[in-house]
Amino acid sequence: MIIQKIESIKEFGGYLNRYTHQSEVCNTEMMFSVYLPPQAEKGKVPTLYWLSGLTCTDDNVRTKAGMQRYAAEQGMALVFPDTSPRGDDVADESERYDLGKGAGFYVNATQAPWSTHYQMYAYVTQELPALLEANLPLIPELRSISGHSMGGHGALICALKNPDTYQSVSAFSPICNPIKGDWGKGCFSAYLGDNEEEWKAYDAVALIKQGAKVSELFIDQGLADEFYDEKQLLPENLQVACDHADQKLTLRMQAGYDHSYHFIATFIGEHIAYHAKALAR
């Protein structure tokens, strides 16, 4: 497995690099970015994985969230995967932003035509970390995970399904209960088929009901978020599930904030500090 560096931009004393590689699980070329803080020039550093939302590539968060500043202060690498496989031979619904390219939803698709390439769960939890820890100055198996919206959903399920893999998990405006929202239902029925029991393997609320547990879930949700109003995100369902299962949840409802990267930028410093503390243990 080889990664090819196609861009390197100096930022906050470290380097924001972009790579391509041939993904075995997604069966196509994939692109991703990694921010290596200045500390990575002298030794290996811990890693925060960031999963992005619908329509995003690796570029949105690295340009808009202002995370690199805090990662440089903390000596933490940031990994920004793409949100789906790309390329001309990859299945898509080009007129829809919420299915196909840019909407991989961090599941392993089982249904044609999606199953050929849409294996984002295996990609972000297994193939990509193994590849990066073999090729970049990252401390093996010292990982935390966060994300936004569809990527917040991804962060929650990756941690809940792999409680020993991630030191900590946080999310901004996550899709907490995708099997109950229109975005989630649309993607899960396409990627996973009509049997809704299969969907529960990728739904944070369902996983908690089934007994999945992590030390804490740390979530920021804006109260002026249109998708919260539309019941796409459903943090209230997560709250109920966590209460019943005795799962620790820190859910901060932030008055006045919307669904945008301006919201993420406002609170990302607190999330980075939270993960840095967990990664230093």
Task: Tell me the backbone φ, ψ of residue 238, rounded to 5 degrees.
Answer: -65, -40
Tell me how far apart the alpha carbons of residues 86 and 88 are, in angstroms, rounded to a whole number: 7
Q: What would the x/- binding string for its own copies be over residues 68 to 97, using CB under 8 A?
A: xx----------------------------
Q: Is 6 in the site for its own copies (CB under 8 A)?
A: no
Nearer Cβ to its own copies, position 1 or 224? Answer: 224
Position 273 contacts its own copies (CB under 8 A): no
With CB under 8 A as the contact rule, which of the stretches 86-94, 150-158, 196-204, 262-270 interacts with its own copies? 262-270
Q: Is 257 one of the binding residues for its own copies (CB under 8 A)?
A: yes
Pick one of 111, 253, 266, 270: the residue that binds its own copies (CB under 8 A): 266
Cβ atoms of residues 177 and 204 within 8 Å: yes
Q: Which stretch binds its own copies (CB under 8 A): 5-13, 124-132, 188-196, 241-249?
A: 5-13
CA distance 167 to 152: 16
For its own copies, what does the binding mask look like between residues 44 and 63, x meaning CB under 8 A? -------------------x
Rounded to 5°, the CA angle 223-83-9 comes to: 95
DSSP for residue 196 = H
CA-CA distance, 136 to 67, in Å (whole number)?
19
DSSP annotation string for 127-180? IHHHHHHHHSSEEEEEEEEEEBTHHHHHHHHHHHH-TTTEEEEEEES--S-GGG
Of the residues 262, 273, 277, 280, which one makes contact with its own copies according to CB under 8 A: 262
Known catalytic residues? 149, 225, 259
Site residues (vs its own copies, CB under 8 A):
9-13, 16, 63-64, 66, 68-69, 222, 224, 256-258, 260-263, 265-266, 269
